[in-house]
Amino acid sequence: MTDEIVKIDGVSKRFGDTVALHRLDMSIRAGEFVTFLGPSGCGKSTTLRILGGFETPTTGRVILNGRDVTAEPPNRRRVNMVFQDYALFPHMTVRRNIAFGLELKGLTRPQIAARSDDLMGFLELAPLADRLPDQLSGGQRQRVALARALAPDPDLLLLDEPLGALDAKLRGQVQAELKSIQRRTSKTFFFVTHDQDEALTMSDRIVVMSKGRVEQVGTPEDLYFHPASRFVADFIGETNLIVGRVASVRGDEVALDWNGQRLIGCAPRDGAPVEGGTVAASVRLEKLMLSETRPDLPNVVPVRIVSKVFKGSRTEVGVRVDGGDETPLRAYVDTALGHALGDGQIWAGWSADAMAVLRD
């Protein structure tokens, strides 16, 4: 990779008997927003701490901008960190908080003032320059923490669940802001979270982790619409899991027998399933179409409505194959359509591309 800024080369980490991270190989491009996503204990913070130099890997190397930094302490790496609680100095003004790292680097006063002013202008903090952290809102504090971390011009910015302390509404705003700042600075962000919404909203690429191993790496769209495993399909968004028998495999196309129906889906990218075996497939709720007339789609099943849950502009409708007793399929439909659909038999349909056959 020509514009590679970080190379994680065979990195693993063991704490006594616990393997926090199995062998990890990965490359990060300059200017990329990469998110490590996974449940508590999956090894994401360990990876971040190894990149920052706060933890030494048991095996492997960390290459930063072409230089092996595995044995170097945090202050010798061009890496900076934004913490969950921002760790702003409470007795220092916004300006001093931002300037602090530059003072440690031994820059001259005019250089420090120029750099701090630049960043405060860029992040719209200038009017707040003389305030103390407790006179700021959560979103403003987040911007100061970012400005302080960006001030020494690091090659890599590490963000460990930095939005965890914000309430849901503010978090949405700050996510958009953070992504926009990352784009405008072209800095490489390594973000850690267990919140799938956050990961989908901001990342160029997401690494889904489970038990110290990478489950799947891909763009948000990739992971959402083409999850490779049951773990990823379950962890990211809401989905219908359809478990069937593999009737045939032709290239990317997999035919499944399910509930007396023949369904067509697409094979996982890392290998086709075995004919005759049992597999699960994922169909997102918004990809399942409901209509009173039979739709022209590769997957069409006759169903009856068993539940309707009002969710504002859309309604979640549960349907069951006519006469079947399997777990209902769920679909998001426009609320007006949800009202219009009656108790009689209707059709559920979806495209082959909307049905991702899963690895396990």
User: Residues in the site for ligand ATP, rule: CB under 6 A?
Assistant: 15, 18, 20, 38, 40-46, 194
Our CB check for ligand ATP shows the closer of 41 and 295 to be 41
Residue type, 218: G
Nearer to ligand ATP, 46 or 182 (CB): 46
Shortest Cβ 42–ligand ATP spacing (Å): 4
Burial of 325 (0-12, 13-18, 19+ CB in 10 A): exposed
Residue 120 beta carbon to ligand ATP: minimum distance, rounded to whole angstroms: 32
Is 84 or 93 the residue whose CB approaches ligand ATP more closely?
84
Pairwise CA distance, residues 94 & 121, whole Å = 12
Pick 46 or 239: Cβ nearer ligand ATP: 46
- C-beta closer to ligand ATP: residue 41 or 318: 41
Give kind and range of the element (H or E) at residue 20: strand 18-29
CB of 216 to ligand ATP, least distance (A): 16
Cα dihedral: 70, 74, 76, 78 (round 10): 90
For the beta sheet containing 213-218, the strands, ordered from the edge strand earlier in sequence to the opposite edge, are 79-82, 156-160, 188-193, 33-37, 205-210, 213-218
Tokens describing residue 347: 């059709």
Q: Which are the contacts of 24, defined by CB distance < 8 A and separation ≥ 6? A: 8, 10, 11, 12, 47, 60, 214
Q: Which residues contact 261 (CB under 8 A, 6 or more apart)?
A: 299, 301, 321
CA distance 29 to 172: 26
Task: Give the nearest distance from C-beta 5 to ligand ATP in angstroms.
Answer: 22
State the nearest-atom distance from the C-beta of 191 to ligand ATP, in Å: 12
CB of 43 vs ligand ATP, minimal distance in Å: 4
Least separation in angstroms between CB 176 and ligand ATP: 23
In angstroms, what is the minimal distance from the CB of 36 to ligand ATP? 8
Indicate if the alpha-carbon torsion angle 147, 166, 189, 221 is positive or negative.
Answer: negative
Shortest spacing between CB 17 and ligand ATP, in angstroms: 9
The residue among 358, 350, 264 whose CA lies nearest residue 303 is 350
Contact between residue 94 and residue 130 where contact means Cβ atoms under 8 Å apart: yes
Nearest of 91, 92, 23, 84 to residue 59 by alpha carbon: 23
Interior CA angle at 47 toward 39 and 166, to 5°?
55
Nearest to ligand ATP of 7, 194 (CB atom): 194
Query: Closest separation between CB of residue 209 and ligand ATP, Å?
Result: 7
The amino acid at 152: P
* Residue closer to ligand ATP, measured from CB, 42 or 288: 42
Residue 40 or 186: which CB sits closer to ligand ATP?
A: 40
- Comparing CB distances to ligand ATP, the nearer of 45 and 80 is 45
In the complex, which residue's CB is closest to ligand ATP?
A: 45
Q: For residue 201, list its beta bridge partners.
A: none
Cα distance between residue 281 and residue 279, in whole Å: 7
50 vs 150, beta carbon nearer ligand ATP? 50
